[in-house]
Structure 1
Amino acid sequence: RALRVFLRNPNTMFGVAFLAVVVLAALLAPVLYPGDPLSMVARPFLWPGQDPAYPLGTDSMGRDVLAGILHGARISLFVGLVATALGLSFGILVGATAGYFGGRIDDLLVRLIEIFQTIPSFVLLVVMVAIAQ
């Protein structure tokens, strides 16, 4: 039932399709643009659509903008997947340890995780207060 509701939501399906296109484009970046995305390929500051070989134009150094975006997406997806895997592994380890031992160890691990979840907000709050003064 939940899957049916998920698949009938047009916003959800648009998001899934967009994510699939981004992932597919990132995976095909070496095939679509086999060269180095940082190499100078044309004259600087080509506008998007000005040259069909460079659909998004070139930057100030003559590098293909689309090639840079696609190769950058590969790196971003890799970093996101690695960070997710590390966070998931750490969470499973802490959760399994807390669940197995229970009692004081569970309480200690819960408080430790709560501290780590609170610190980024606290630091941001301190910075905002310092700026406001």
Structure 2
Amino acid sequence: MIKNQLFKKHLSSWTIESQNELFRKFADYCQTHDIVHSSGILLEELFQRESQGSSLIDEGFALPHVESSNVIKSAVILIRLDEPIVEWNHKDQFVKGVLFLVLKKGETTENLVEIREIMKMLADETVIAGLLNGNQKIVNKLF
């Protein structure tokens, strides 16, 4: 039996000017890497979720997330931006790091536990600061 592992990736040096551009590039990345069936559906879902409330969880750090039947394999993807997005959600909030969580419907308990542990780590401000600064020890701990 093949184990259904959680896709985890750390990407850096993305040059992005807006939240819209980031979501589009991320959705394309997910389709290219067989994380989702449709980048268009993921894009719609990200914007829909963001319309319900900002994914900003700390100064300079956002956690956009969706759960969807469009997702082929659940993924946790950290993106560090070259320059901050200065108007997250069309508000005067900057974002320099983004941890995307895309969760497939009916995910395994094992993967849900792993995701829960990652979310617990994000409750520590030093972890978020380390992710924003590219602290390799903290990034490795997450991934």
Superposition TM-score, scaled by structure 2 size: 0.22
Higher strand share: 2
Superposition TM-score, scaled by structure 1 size: 0.23
Higher radius of gyration, 1 or 2: 1
